[in-house]
């Protein structure tokens, strides 16, 4: 799985020159399987009406499940215009009032109200994100990282899923500030 992700990263890096000079594409689009999304949100102890943010929200699946199944106030941040449009339209079509996708750079948002942050990024992206989260997150806020740790942070819990049913293994890390 990590090899496939690395190949996608290479393609992303090649394409970086074509991206906006202001914002860096920190990871390729590689969706989390829905069964793993649910495990991330459970590991993150997401409760109704809590504020959650998925950083690099792709097709919006984490945001949608957080609002639909967990009753959270859910926000995605996505740089890619097509993914932003597709996920925003899906949320609108589902009539989810407490979900939205911001089109923007994850390094330039305000997470000070967040109860839970989810990330599926790369080690170098997590390294860049770390000071933003350290500066902004309130005490007790949780962060769930999929497959790649936040360098230097000590996870409170680690969950390993050997096979997601499609032959992919996953590791989830729970951090509490």
Ligand X SMILES: C[S@@+](CC[C@H](N)C(=O)[O-])C[C@H]1O[C@@H](n2cnc3c(N)ncnc32)[C@H](O)[C@@H]1O
| Stretch of 30-38, 41-49, 136-144, 149-157 lying at the interface with ligand X (CB under 6 A) | 30-38
Cβ distance to ligand X smaller for residue 80 or 164: 80
What is the C-alpha end-to-end distance of the chain, expressed in Å?
29
- The dihedrals phi and psi of 148, each to the nearest 5 degrees, come to -125, 130
Alpha carbon distance 55, 52 (integer Å): 10
Alpha carbon distance 11, 5 (integer Å): 10
Does 172 participate in binding ligand X (rule CB under 6 A)?
Answer: no
Cβ distance to ligand X smaller for residue 31 or 71: 31
Contacts to ligand X from residues 81-120, by CB under 6 A: 83, 105-106, 120
Question: Cβ–Cβ contacts within 10 Å for residue 64, how many?
Answer: 23
Cβ distance to ligand X smaller for residue 29 or 153: 29
**Which residues would be at the binding site for ligand X (CB under 6 A)?**
23-27, 29-32, 54, 56-58, 61-62, 77-80, 83, 105-106, 120
């Amino acid at each position: 799985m990590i090899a496939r992700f690395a190949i996608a990263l290479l393609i992303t890096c090649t394409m970086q020159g074509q991206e906006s000079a202001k914002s860096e594409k920190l990871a390729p689009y590689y969706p989390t399987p829905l069964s793993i999304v649910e495990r991330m949100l459970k590991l993150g102890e997401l409760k109704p009406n809590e504020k959650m943010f998925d950083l690099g929200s792709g097709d919006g699946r984490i945001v949608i499940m957080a609002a639909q199944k967990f009753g959270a106030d859910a926000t995605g941040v996505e740089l890619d215009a097509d993914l932003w449009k597709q996920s925003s339209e899906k949320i609108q079509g589902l009539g989810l009032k407490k979900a939205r996708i911001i089109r923007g750079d994850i390094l330039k948002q305000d997470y000070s109200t967040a109860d839970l942050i989810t990330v599926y990024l790369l080690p170098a992206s997590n390294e860049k994100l770390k000071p933003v989260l350290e500066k902004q997150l309130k005490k007790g806020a949780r962060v769930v990282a999929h497959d790649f740790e936040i360098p230097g942070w000590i996870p409170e819990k680690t969950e390993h899923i050997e096979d997601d049913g499609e032959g992919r293994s996953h590791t989830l890390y729970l951090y509490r500030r």
